[in-house]
Amino acid sequence: MKKIKVGIVGCGTIGSALAQAIHKKFKSSASLVCFCEHHGEKAFRLMKRLGVKIPVVSFQRLIQKSDLVIEAASASISGRIAAESLRRDKEVLILSVGGLLLNRNWIRAASRSRGRLWLPSGAVAGIDGILGAREGGLRRVKLVTRKPPQGLKGAPYFNQKKFPELSGNKAVCVFKGNARQAIRAFPQNINVAALLSLAGLGAEKTQVEIWTSAALRRNQHEITAEGDFGKITTVAENVPSPGNPKTSFLAVLSATALLKKIFSRVRMGT
Ligand SMILES: NC(=O)c1ccc[n+]([C@@H]2O[C@H](COP(=O)([O-])OP(=O)(O)OC[C@H]3O[C@@H](n4cnc5c(N)ncnc54)[C@H](O)[C@@H]3O)[C@@H](O)[C@H]2O)c1
């Protein structure tokens, strides 16, 4: 069987883990053909770890050379990568889902494409239920995210607003609004809000609250949804990944599981 040629944009925490999975776990189905990385040294470190030599190219060249494009870089570029990959009829897996709310050219490209856009569930549980519920009478979707301060610091939201003073176990609500506002304010920290809104009621109708506390050690995402089906409540308590406190370890595992789904003949879940 012909192997699927994979290109990865972003050789950080998630990109490196997926490169490793493709090189070891999924080597009978796929092979790495190129990387795109702002910081070349990260791509070379990854190649050394894998024991391979792979060209580092622009994202446009990467899309040309790959059957499956994986974006694990930034919300500032993910919309362009999705749109360009779909225009070229490629399969594309986007991690920076928030970018798909900021640049929406991919919607038109998807409607004309023979390629496919894949979005992992990431660090939340319950996307399968929301997708089912959307098929009939989904009325309310809310996400409450609780993160340690280091999982939120550096977000554009705090360019204008002071980061709250934290003391003891007290939890502070730093943001309340809809998913579109949440993504603008926290483009690298709240991809789950983007995915939840794309899977459910859309970015304007999905309510988001973000809380922080010095006592938190885990990233927690609580989803509640109501509709004709009844009510869903899910809570995921995520260990931050060792490489990046903003990225939950479950998000890395979820993307690996989605790769398995792409390469497999048996597909589970909605
Ligand atoms: N969907 C989800 O569930 C989920 C969960 C966590 C993180 N994310 C998102 O996935 C992305 C990757 O996360 P990570 O933890 O691996 O981040 P990371 O910071 O560890 O790695 C990102 C890498 O991409 C590179 N990069 C950034 N912009 C680039 C560009 N324009 N071109 C080429 N390389 C570029 C950086 O140099 C870095 O090496 C982030 O955007 C993050 O917000 C998504």
Note whether 35 and 135 are same-domain residues. Answer: no
* Residue 188: domain span: 127-246
188: pLDDT strictly greater than 90: no
Note whether 20 and 108 are same-domain residues. Answer: yes
Check residue 159 and give its pLDDT: 93
Check residue 244 and give its pLDDT: 85
Indicate whether 33 belongs to any domain. Answer: yes
Centre of ligand 1 from the C-alpha of residue 9, in Å: 8
Indicate whether 167 belongs to any domain. Answer: yes
End residue of a domain, out of 87, 119, 151 = 119
Note whether 105 and 13 are same-domain residues. Answer: yes
End residue of a domain, out of 64, 95, 119 = 119
Indicate whether 253 belongs to any domain. Answer: no
Centre of ligand 1 from the C-alpha of residue 46, in Å: 15
Instruction: Please state the three-class secondary structure of the chain as a single string.
Output: CCCEEEEEECCCHHHHHHHHHHHCCCCCCEEEEEEECCCHHHHHHHHHHHCCCCCECCHHHHHHHCCEEEECCCHHHHHHHHHHHHHCCCEEEECCCCHHHHCCHHHHHHHHCCCEEECCCCCCCCHHHHHHHHCCCEEEEEEEEEECHHHCCCCCHHHHCCCCCCCCCCCEEEEEEEHHHHHHHCCCCCHHHHHHHHHCCCCCCEEEEEEECCCCCCEEEEEEEEECCEEEEEEEEECEECCEEEEEHHHHHHHHHHHHHHHCCCCCCC
243: pLDDT strictly greater than 90: no
Question: Regarding predicted confidence, which is higher, 190 or 54?
Answer: 54
151: pLDDT strictly greater than 90: no
Structure tokens at 38: 């702002």
User: Would you give the distance in Å from CA 9 to the centre of its chain?
Assistant: 13
Indicate whether 158 belongs to any domain. Answer: yes
Note whether 135 and 242 are same-domain residues. Answer: yes
Indicate whether 56 belongs to any domain. Answer: yes
Note whether 29 and 91 are same-domain residues. Answer: yes
| Structural domains in the chain (count) | 2
Note whether 88 and 136 are same-domain residues. Answer: no
Check residue 22 and give its pLDDT: 98
Mean pLDDT of all residues in 228-233: 98
Check residue 1 and give its pLDDT: 78
What pLDDT, in 10s, does the model give residues 2-47? 999 999 999 999 999 999 999 999 999 999 999 999 999 999 999 9
User: What CATH number is given to the structural domain containing 229?
Assistant: 3.30.360.10
Note whether 231 and 143 are same-domain residues. Answer: yes
Check residue 62 and give its pLDDT: 98
Distance CA 107, CA 100 (A): 9
Cβ < 6 A, ligand 1 pocket: 9-15, 36-39, 42, 72-75, 77, 95-97, 120, 122-123, 188, 191, 243-244, 247, 251
Tell the residue nearest (CA) to atom 27 of ligand 1: 73
Indicate whether 59 belongs to any domain. Answer: yes
Q: Band of the pLDDT at 189, cuts 50, 70, 90?
A: confident
Centre of ligand 1 from the C-alpha of residue 96, in Å: 7
Note whether 111 and 132 are same-domain residues. Answer: no
